[in-house]
Structure 1
Amino acid sequence: MTRSELWFTEQQNSNLKLGLRINKTLHSEQTEFQSLDVYETAEYGKLLVLDGCVMTTDRDEFVYHEMISHVALHTHANPKNVLVIGGGDGGAIREILKHESVERAVLAEIDGRVVAASKEYFPGIASGLSDPRVDVQVTDGIQYVNDHAGEFDVILVDSTDPVGPAVGLFAKDFYHAVHRALKPDGIMVAQTESPFMNANLIQKTSRDIGEVFKNSYLYLAYIPTYPTGMWSFTMGSKQYDPHQASACRVAGTKYYSTEVHQAAFALPPFVQELIQS
């Protein structure tokens, strides 16, 4: 019996593609905001694709979701109210709920179809969305932060790539709105793409967040299905220093640890040069 020759290919730029052999298509639709596809792959399990770009896979999702969540939540002294902007797959929410201090976690996702598809095809990722501490809001995340000043301890910007509905989530005005939505000791984290492929974006977001927040920090994680595998996150903090974070206080992580937290801020020289230029 021959293997499937059906492939999903993400055009990462004009010179680079990522290809994954797929066994079958599980779901395909055009939502109000974007194309949404779910595939069963031979190597990475189920795959969620938005507008032709890899969002998450069963096999490596834990790296991204743990690192966008736990770095800030261990840096903050007592996170109780947390907002995730985007992140309709629910992975960041799942990780947030591992923290006993969290009393309320809001998911502000513009596309309700992403939430619905994730619940159906990625129940392990979306498992926290039915928790009583979670408030799922199908709404524009930019408008949501503008309407909730001074409310959150931590805000995570779990956005898609800076195209389509996510463009505004990489703007300096948006970072100002996030700053206003945070409490006086609040922290934000945004995913900020690949140092190899998105150097200009990283320079801009690092500069913008650094101008809005008292302190800003870039850190790294390694996600095989994201462009080049090296991925960056940028933290803006009103008060806390992530180098002084608490030891890991949650169970069940597969990537995040006390040691990984500290190591994530040890940047290779070429990345350090990006944010200093």
Structure 2
Amino acid sequence: MSTVESGWYLEKNDQWPGYSVGLKIEKVLFEGKSEFQEILVFKSTTFGNVLVLDGCIQCTERDEHCYQEMISHLPINCHPDPKQVLVVGGGDGGVVREVLKYPGIERVTLCEIDQKVIEVCKEYLPSMAGSLSDPRCHVNIGDGIQYMKEHKDSFDIIITDAPDPIGAAKGLYELDYYRCLKAALKPNGIICSQGENLWLDLHVADQLLSSCRSLFPSIGYAFAGIPTYASGQIGFVMASSRPGLDFTKPLRMLSDDELDKMDMKFYNSSIHTASFVLPQFAKKVLFPASNGNSETQKNFQADV
């Protein structure tokens, strides 16, 4: 798996043979093991502090806003009036920070199984984890699946900030997990999940969309570029119990002034729409012409 060689952190993963992501280490800040996983934080020479879990880079101070903003603002801006939001995973606090930028949000519940991740991030990634002290944020240390089973019909939006499908995280990519998501949503609710990347994990993205297609009338897949994730890109799987929902068209068109006040660094309304335009090789797999359940994204891509 991942190694440190000549002062460089090299993320190596059996999922992606012959490929690695590397960052030069200036200083190791924390190294330890929780009940659930190995945790590493180091200061890199060009990307700030870096969080690594079980050998996989989770976020860096330089580019974390891309992932956090997209996985949060895509679903929020497709819902007319979100008030109750559940975040599964995401102990670094980045998604919570973004969700709380909307004053209409009444409560954000974070379900993080690993208390140690939260503690480490509060110390070494305070620009993200500081959001967990907000009075509208409620932290639940425990299994997100069990929490959803105990809170059915409760959330307008559920965001799954999942690591890669390795070890215990594999369950977050299975059909049963998406059944739990659906049961925990309020009517017309929206889910948004980390959807891997198109270059190296297209089969995983296809599996996730297949699960959503079997449960929800509206689905979509967006992606964005982020330098420190495998292949420099990450995807987002979206689904809703509301029929005919067009994820490509945000209900809120944010002005430049609004974006500045929200301290937005990546997301804007134009990127929202453009992120659903897939390269042809991915479109053919994820939204084949014969698939009647993906008309929204198919028709949009045919028109651009």
- How far residue 5 of structure 1 moved from its aligned partner, in angstroms, is 4.0
**Are 1:135 and 2:147 matched, yes or no?**
no
1:139 corresponds to which letter in structure 2?
A: G
Is 1:271 aligned with 2:259? no
Tell me the residue number matched to 1:154. Answer: 157
Aligned position for 1:80: 83
Alignment partner of 1:212 is 2:218: no
1-side partners of 2:221 and 2:287: how far apart? 11
- Provide, for residues 57-108 of structure 1, a one-character-per-residue CA deviation record: whole Å limited to 9, x for no partner: 0000000000000000000000000000000000000000001110000000
Task: Say if 2:247 is the partner of 1:252.
Answer: no
Tell me how far apart the structure 2 counterparts of residues 268 and 247 of structure 1 sit (CA, whole Å). Answer: 25
Displacement over 2 Å in runs of 4+: 248-251
Mapped partners of 2:145, 2:135: distance in 1: 24
1:198 match: 201
- Post-superposition Cα deviations, 1:187-206, rounded to whole Å, max 9, x if no partner, equal 00011111111111111111
State the 1:270 CA deviation: 1.2
Percent pairwise identity: 39
Residue 55 of structure 2 corresponds to 52
TM-score for both structures, normalised by structure 1: 0.96
Partner residue in 2 for 1:43 = 46
User: What amino acid is the match of 2:11?
Assistant: E
Partners in 1 of 2:167 and 2:144 — Cα distance? 14
Q: What are the Cα deviations for residues 35-68 of structure 1, in whole angstroms up to 9, with x where unaligned? A: 0000010011100000000000000000000000
1:228 aligned counterpart, secondary structure? helix
Preserved contact between residue 81 and residue 102 of structure 1 (Cα < 8 Å):
yes
Greater CA drift, 72-81 or 265-274 = 265-274
Alignment TM-score, normalising by the size of structure 2: 0.88
Distance 1:63 1:213 in 2: 27
Note the C-alpha offset of 1:14.
2.2
**Mind listing any 5+ residue stretches in structure 2 that lack a counterpart?**
289-304
Structure 1 residues without counterparts, runs of 5 or longer? none
Q: Which has the higher contact order (CA 8 A, sep 6+)?
A: 1
Matches within 5 A, 1:11-50: 11-12=12-13, 13-50=16-53
Report the aligned-residue RMSD: 1.2
2: CA distance between counterparts of 1:213 and 1:187? 10
SS in 1 for 2:131: helix
Q: Say which of 76, 90, 97 aligns to 2:100.
A: 97
* In 2: Cα distance, 1:274 partner to 1:175 partner: 20
